[in-house]
Amino acid sequence: MQEQSLAYLDHNVLDLLTKGRAANVGELLGRMSLIPVFSNENLAEIRRSAGYEQLFLERLECIGARYLVPIWDAQFWHTGGAEVRVVKPRDAYDQYVERLDGLPVSDFGLAGILQKLYGGRSDQSFGEIFSAGIGELGVFLEKLRVQLSSTPGLDEQDQSAIAGIAAHLPDAVSEQLSTFAAQVDSLPGTAVDQVGVTFGLGPKILNNLKPPKIVRKIWELTKAKCPGVEFECFFGIKPFPFEQDAGRERTVLEKVNAII
């Protein structure tokens, strides 16, 4: 029996499937001994494709796509492994959406911070964005405390600990971020522009770098500005010694995501 390999279909491929005959693609994958798989990233893209969700799910089912699920350890760290589940895409999607609906709507200011770093939110300071995000965190923690107060199995000590976190965590986060906010708000230009100025890596230089080994070439241009910093740490491939989980080897997925 011929060994089968997995074929991950990103959303661009799925989009093409909605415009063609999925059955023909399924036959092609079968002849090539490829098992099509989809992940939560596909489901997220499908959820954003309002009005076309069922069409995408039908195409996945038509080609016999399977569900690729990452494996986490007891501390919720990614192990670097994954399992392939045979489930209906509709069922996987419904469960995915149900899980998301149970999460807070707010991102605690993360989107605003990213927009500000790249020059957006000109009418707001970092301090204001941080403050709004911390306020949302406080509301979420208080709701969580109320919900957990009626959870069976939590004794008075647990309830007290949860109440303490809900009461004091927002203030602790605010104190840590206030100095940073003041520093970045005082910088001329965007934070991203400042990185370019500090390391001498503007768009003109980066856009003219040619493969292969682009990451190594970027490091050659920046390492003089980072004395004592290792190449792997600079790009997040390897943790810095001061990080909480410094002894944990990063998975291939984490290393790729860090570089990107």
Instruction: Report the range of poorest mean pLDDT among 123-132, 196-205, 223-232.
Output: 196-205
Q: Is 133 exposed, middle or buried (0-12, 13-18, 19+ CB in 10 A)?
A: buried
Query: Does residue 70 have a cis peptide bond before it, meaning omega lies within 30 degrees of 0?
Result: no
List pLDDT tens digits, range 98-157.
Answer: 887 766 667 788 888 888 888 888 899 999 999 999 999 888 888 888 877 777 777 788
Within 8 A by CB and 6+ apart from 231, the residues are 216, 219, 223, 237
Name the one residue in this structure whose structure tokens are 């991102």.
107
144 torsion bin: left (phi>0), alpha (psi -120 to 50), beta (else): alpha
Verdict on whether the full-model pTM lies above 0.75:
no
Q: Does residue 80 carry a pLDDT above 60?
A: yes
Contact of 204 with 221, CB cutoff 8 Å = no
Q: What are 66's strand-pairing partners?
A: 37
Q: Does residue 206 carry a pLDDT above 50?
A: yes
List pLDDT tens digits, range 126-142.
Answer: 999 999 999 998 888 88
Average pLDDT over residues 50-78: 89
Read off the pLDDT band of 1 (50, 70, 90). very low
